[in-house]
Amino acid sequence: MSTAKLILDGNECEMPIVEGTEGERAFDITSLRSQTKYITLDPGFANTGSCQSAITFIDGEKGILRYRGYDIEDLAASARFPEVSYLLIHNHLPDQSELTEWRRKLTLNSLIHESMLNFFDHFPPTSHPMSILTAMVSALPAFYPDMEDEDTNIIRLLAKAKSIAAVAYKKSIGEPIVYPRSDYSYMANFLRMMFATPAEPYEISEVIENALNLLLIVHADHEQNCSTSTVRMTGSSQASMYASISAGICALSGPLHGGANQAVLEMLERILEDGGDYKKYVELAKDRDSGFRLMGFGHRVYKNFDPRARILKKACDEVLKELGIEDPLLDIAKNLEEVALSDDFFVQRKLYPNVDFYSGIIYRALGIPTNMFTVMFALGRMPGWIAHWREMRQDPTNRIYRPRQIYIGETHRKFVPVWER
C-alpha cells in the first residue's frame, strides 16, 4: 500500500493512501494525532473527506454527476423519480416487479395520520413551509412508533414527506386539504394534493408531471453537501432516520444551500422591478462590500459547469414553451448568465450557474409558490439523505462525528468572586 510521509518537528509519520473506484486519492489521517499530537485544520472541509461512500460520484472539473454509476443526463432523460429513489437507496435499478411494488407502497403510505393533521392548524398561515416540513418529519415517529422496521420507515418518510409539503401549502392558502388517491402515482398524488380544489378537480398534465419528475431527479443526491453531511453527522450518534433527516432539512434551508432557489427567484424579481438592469447586479455581486451575491451562481465542487444547471436550462425553455408561458425572469436569468460568464471576476473564481439558478423558473411555471421551492428541493433530496443515513449506519467502521478544534480563546485565568473584583 502506498503511503504519504509527513515530517513534523523532525519526526516522520506515514499515512496510508486511499484510492476510490474513480481514482480519487486521499491520505488517511486516522492515526495523525496519536503519531504527532497534531490535528488538521480545514474550515468548511473543502479539502477533507468525511467518509467513503458508494452512492454518488461527482467530478467537479469535468461536470460529471452519477448516482450509483448512472449519469445524471441518462437518468434525467429516461428514468422516473420513484425508480431513482429506489436506485439510490438499494444500489440497483428495480426490475419491473420491484418497481411496481415500490410504487404501490409509496402510494399506499401517502396518508398522514389524522391526529397529525391537527398540527398544521396550529402553525400561523405565514409559517415557512420548510419549518413545517422540519417539524412534521421529526414528529413522524410520535405517530408511527414502530421504528424497528427500517424499510417501512423509509417508504413512510418518502411517501409522507410529499403529503406534508402539499398539506402545508394548502393550509398556507386557506384551502381544504386534498387526500391522496390509491390509484395515483407519487407525482400525480403530489400535484393533485397541491392544486385540486373542491370546485376544480385538477387535471394532471403530462408536461407538468414530467417537469416535476425531472426536477426531483436532478435534486435526488449530491454526495457530501452541507445537508447530507448534517444527516450523517446527526445519524452518527445513532439518532433515528427521522431526526437525522429533519436536521438535514434545517441545513438545506440556508440561502447558501437549498434556500438559494428561493433566493434566486427573489433576486430575479428584484432585478425586474428595478427596470431589468441585470448588468447593475452583476457589478453589485463583484463588490464584496455590497453583501450581494449572484444567487444560483458558484459551487464548492463544480468548477466548469453544474450538469444539472445545463439540464434545467434546457428544460426551462421546453416547459415554458409547452405551457405557453413567457416569463421575463427567464430572459433576465439568461442575460445574467451570459454577462457573468464573460466577466473576469466570475471566470477567475470559476463561478457558474448551479442547480438552483434555473430550477425556480420551472417551479414557478408549474404553479409552485416561491416559498415552496426549497421544500421541493427537500422532496427531491429525500432519497439521497435516506441512502446516506443508511450507508453510514450500516458501516461497521462508522464512529460518532466529533471533529477537533484549535482553541484561540483566553489562556487560564484564576476565578475571582464578584465581591472581590
The answer to whether 319 touches 255, Cβ cutoff 8 Å, is no
Least spacing, CB of residue 133 vs ligand SDX, in Å: 17
Of 257, 279, 310, 393, which lies in the binding site for ligand SDX, with binding defined by CB under 6 A?
257
- Nearest CB to ligand SDX, comparing residues 266 and 322: 266
- Point out which residues pair with 12 in neighbouring strands: 7
Stretch that binds ligand SDX, among 157-165, 254-262, 386-394, 413-421 (CB under 6 A): 254-262
Give start and end residues of each alpha helix (H) in 204-341. Answer: 206-218, 226-235, 241-252, 260-273, 278-286, 307-323, 328-341
The Cα 239–Cα 11 span in angstroms is 40
Least spacing, CB of residue 260 vs ligand SDX, in Å: 3
Stretch that binds ligand SDX, among 12-20, 49-57, 116-124, 298-306 (CB under 6 A): 298-306
For residue 142, what is its C-alpha cell? 410520535
The residues in 41-60 that bind ligand SDX, with binding defined as CB under 6 A, are 44
- Point out which residues pair with 13 in neighbouring strands: 6
Least spacing, CB of residue 61 vs ligand SDX, in Å: 15
Report if residue 313 touches ligand SDX, rule: CB under 6 A: no
* 95 is an active site residue: no
Report if residue 62 touches ligand SDX, rule: CB under 6 A: no
Stretch that binds ligand SDX, among 75-83, 105-113, 290-298, 365-373 (CB under 6 A): 290-298
Report if residue 351 touches ligand SDX, rule: CB under 6 A: yes
Distances (CA, A) of 398 to 173, 223, 240, 273, 391: 44, 17, 15, 51, 10
| Catalytic member of 219, 306, 356, 388 | 356
| Catalytic member of 221, 299, 306, 388 | 299
Total of chain residues touching ligand SDX, rule CB under 6 A: 22
The Cα 141–Cα 261 span in angstroms is 30
The residues in 191-230 that bind ligand SDX, with binding defined as CB under 6 A, are 222, 225
Stretch that binds ligand SDX, among 91-99, 200-208, 353-361, 411-419 (CB under 6 A): 353-361
Least spacing, CB of residue 255 vs ligand SDX, in Å: 6
Report if residue 279 touches ligand SDX, rule: CB under 6 A: no
H-helix or E-strand spanning residue 365: helix 355-365
Closest CA to 143 of 117, 107, 104, 169: 117
Report if residue 347 touches ligand SDX, rule: CB under 6 A: no
Least spacing, CB of residue 219 vs ligand SDX, in Å: 7
Report if residue 231 touches ligand SDX, rule: CB under 6 A: no
* 299 is an active site residue: yes
- Point out which residues pair with 353 in neighbouring strands: 297
Least spacing, CB of residue 391 vs ligand SDX, in Å: 16
The residues in 155-174 that bind ligand SDX, with binding defined as CB under 6 A, are none
The Cα 26–Cα 24 span in angstroms is 7
Three-class SS of 158-218: HHHHHHHHHHHHHHHCCCCCCCCCCCCCHHHHHHHHHHCCCCCCCCCCHHHHHHHHHHHHH
Closest CA to 36 of 58, 13, 19: 13
The answer to whether 249 touches 227, Cβ cutoff 8 Å, is yes
The Cα 224–Cα 392 span in angstroms is 12
Report if residue 260 touches ligand SDX, rule: CB under 6 A: yes
Report if residue 102 touches ligand SDX, rule: CB under 6 A: no
- Nearest CB to ligand SDX, comparing residues 17 and 256: 256
Of 116, 159, 316, 356, which lies in the binding site for ligand SDX, with binding defined by CB under 6 A?
356
Q: For 288, which DSSP code?
A: G
CA atoms within 13 A on the CB side of 115: 6
Annotated catalytic residues are 299, 356
* Contact positions vs ligand SDX (CB under 6 A): 44, 222, 225, 256-257, 260, 285, 288, 293-301, 349, 351, 354-356
